[in-house]
Amino acid sequence: MLSGGQDGRVLIWKLGTSRPAQSELATIPGAVNGVAVEGSGKYAAAAGSDGILRLWDLEHRNAQPALVGSGSAAFAIAFSHDGSTIAIGRADGKIETQRTTKSLALDICQLVWRNLTKAEWARFIGEDIKYQRTCPNLPEGR
- CATH number of the domain that residue 40 is part of: 2.120.10.30
Judge whether 20 and 1 are in contact, CB under 8 Å: no
Q: How large is the average pLDDT for residues 20-37?
A: 79
Beta-carbon count within 10 A of 102 CB: 20
113 and 93 housed in the same domain: no
114 and 93 housed in the same domain: no
Q: Of 99, 119, 134, which residue constitutes the final position of a domain? A: 99
Indicate the pLDDT class of residue 125, thresholds 50, 70 and 90: low
109 and 132 housed in the same domain: yes
84 and 51 housed in the same domain: yes
The number of folded domains in the chain is 2
Confidence at residue 56, expressed as pLDDT on a 0 to 100 scale: 81
| DSSP output for 64-120 | PPPEE-SSSPEEEEEE-TTSSEEEEEETTS-EEEEE-HHHHHHHHHHHHSSPPPHHH
Range scoring the smallest mean pLDDT among 15-24, 51-60, 114-123:
15-24
Mean pLDDT of the chain: 78
In this model, does residue 142 exceed pLDDT 60?
no
Confidence at residue 63, expressed as pLDDT on a 0 to 100 scale: 66
74-88 burial by CB neighbour count: b if 16+ within 10 A, else e?
A: beebebeeebbebeb
12 and 47 housed in the same domain: yes
Confidence at residue 10, expressed as pLDDT on a 0 to 100 scale: 87
Q: Is the pTM of this model over 0.85?
A: no
Dump pLDDT digits (tens) for 63-107.
665 666 667 888 889 998 888 788 989 888 888 887 776 556 666
Q: Which domain holds residue 14?
A: 2-99
Residue 102 and residue 129: Cα distance in Å, rounded?
12
89 and 38 housed in the same domain: yes
80 and 136 housed in the same domain: no
Confidence at residue 129, expressed as pLDDT on a 0 to 100 scale: 64
65 and 114 housed in the same domain: no
111 and 92 housed in the same domain: no
70 and 120 housed in the same domain: no
Confidence at residue 122, expressed as pLDDT on a 0 to 100 scale: 76
In this model, does residue 128 exceed pLDDT 70?
no
Q: In what order do the strands lie in the sheet with 26-27?
A: 2-4, 9-12, 26-27
89 and 53 housed in the same domain: yes
86 and 61 housed in the same domain: yes
